[in-house]
A and B are shown apart, each in its own frame.
Chain A
């Protein structure tokens, strides 16, 4: 019976956190930036003025429209091969957001599953999973993702896989301690007593209680994934050369920063804005959910 009450309570408050989240300035600002970026990613072929790989060598290294050496038609200037910076930035959102979404869902699935198993069952399972986390954490994330990419080879799928294999520990550690707390709640015992299987208890009782934390972590993880992808494409270990990515733009522009600093600044701003949006969203959500916890 307690289980039904718990489920009822969970669904009953299901809408209110969302509305409260929308009252948080952080969530609104972060979410709005992300909606704009999402639009850029989806509508890239429609809104980008040029093909991102189209070269115009006569108009190489032009500045943005407010600078002295601007060239009409190239709003944010061009790179060393005369490719349009604005178009490359717009197309770059595709790689960034695709990696962010896929990698965060992947890390969430792997990390949360292991955290649930470790926190719920405890004992040997917990010990094994916790030691695996320790092992992973002894590698600097950048070093581990680099050797994984060396092992798997480049390509966007392998980048996502590498991020998942590096970052599941982030979820696992945090969610595990949350599950340890939830596990001791009366309604979880009640669910077991009323004949729920372990699996059903975990999925129906424990998981919903950890959901706010998981959503927050996912938002932060998306920001991290954007950074890792940028790092890997910066060192030339991410996507194929024909796909425009912000990290590649930075690597290209770095060699010409004396001629055109904006070529370097703009992709940096794109990355920072995206990561900031994810962090604001995550931060805002965390505060919203915390407030709910305090109320009860």
Chain B
């Protein structure tokens, strides 16, 4: 049976690979539209025509565009994403330094979203048919109208500026440094046994992660409610009720288990979006992650970083979707038997 699951998973991966290639074509072509000349940007003003021509050849810009793409892709597959124009450092190094921070942030955001969204969905469901349902409904519509970057600013205003409870810039207080071991700050804090820094890092992450989560919570809530509404009419739920099982237990033991499946599958899509949401949240919280790197690069028209970051974002979304698919297959007994 596990062999069948494995073959389904391998098939999903097989679909993801050509998709990733197409993503790279898209990134390459869109960024070729830029009017800026990458050669002129990476040359000092007193460069001679020969210098410029030499660099053009070095960068492969004299070749046909498909050929250029081939070279670019070849480099990427070797892990070479080019060199940043603004920083003069390899893009893979810059991304390697910032990606762990983004992964930590997105993971915390997803955790918060689940921790708030699932109980919230059950609450919405319990309130069905009551007068307060309308109020909660309008409340969730209101929450849906607030994107994560506005939550980010709002949380700063409330918890940072007005109440002065939580920090909202960077990952650690300015006077604190942690030696870089794995790149994952929380892990590094624990590995070096620095519990104070660990708690500080968590404190710094609360607001940005909450901002990310709040953009996703109302969707999870609504989704779980409608899934619960779908299964509540099923025979096995009626049977459980007829057997005199208390309502709380009917929901938690019988209905929730089946309602969670569609919610889980859509949460995967949402977590993909949540990963994209880190972009602005990082900018707002001066959080040194991939999003901040990319927006900085956009402002500097630093083409190699923009390309590299866009690819990594797409790769992350595909990976998250794939991971959720796998979890879905593993936990869904119907799929297990069907194939």
Contact = CB atoms under 8 A, between A and B. Distances in A.
Interface of A: 26, 131, 134-135, 137-144, 146-153, 223, 227, 230-231, 234-237, 250, 254, 257-258, 261, 264-265, 268, 271-272, 275-276, 278-280, 283
Given A135-B23, A234-B280, A151 B33 contact: yes
A138 B150 contact: no
B313 A237 contact: no
A147 B306 contact: yes
B189 interface: no
Contacts of B156: 257
Contact of B19 (A138, A227, A236, A237): A138
Interface stretch (B93-101, B243-251, B268-276): B268-276
A231 B280 contact: yes
A234 B23 contact: no
Contact of B145 (A26, A138, A223, A236): A223
Interface range on chain B: under 10, 10 to 19, 20 to 34, or 35 or more?
35 or more
A59 to B, nearest CB: 23
The interface residues of chain B, by DSSP majority, are classed as helix
Contact of B162 (A131, A134, A261): A261
Contact of B313 (A135, A143, A271): A143
Nearest to A135: B22
Contact of B283 (A153, A235, A268): A235
A140 B301 contact: no
B332 interface: no
B149 interface: yes
B157 interface: yes
A227 B215 CA distance: 12
25 contacts: A134-B19, A135-B19, A135-B22, A137-B269, A138-B272, A138-B321, A139-B313, A139-B317, A140-B313, A143-B313, A146-B279, A147-B30, A147-B306, A150-B30, A150-B34, A150-B298, A151-B32, A234-B149, A234-B280, A235-B295, A235-B299, A257-B157, A257-B161, A272-B145, A276-B141
A143 B279 contact: yes
Contacts of B22: 135
A166 B11 CA distance: 27
Contact of B141 (A150, A236, A280): A280
A214 B136 CA distance: 26
B147 A227 contact: yes
Contact of A140 (B34, B273, B298): B273
Contacts of B272: 137-138, 140
A261 B161 CA distance: 9
A140 B317 contact: yes
B211 to A, nearest CB: 13
A264 B276 contact: no
B253 to A, nearest CB: 31
A151 B277 contact: no
A234 B279 CA distance: 12
Interface string B275-291: 11101100110000000
A134 to B, nearest CB: 6
B277 A261 contact: no
B144 A279 contact: yes
Nearest to A278: B145
Q: Of residues B19, B31, B35, B145, which shows the largest number of chain A Cβ atoms within 10 Å of its Cβ? A: B145
A265 B157 contact: yes
B21 to A, nearest CB: 10
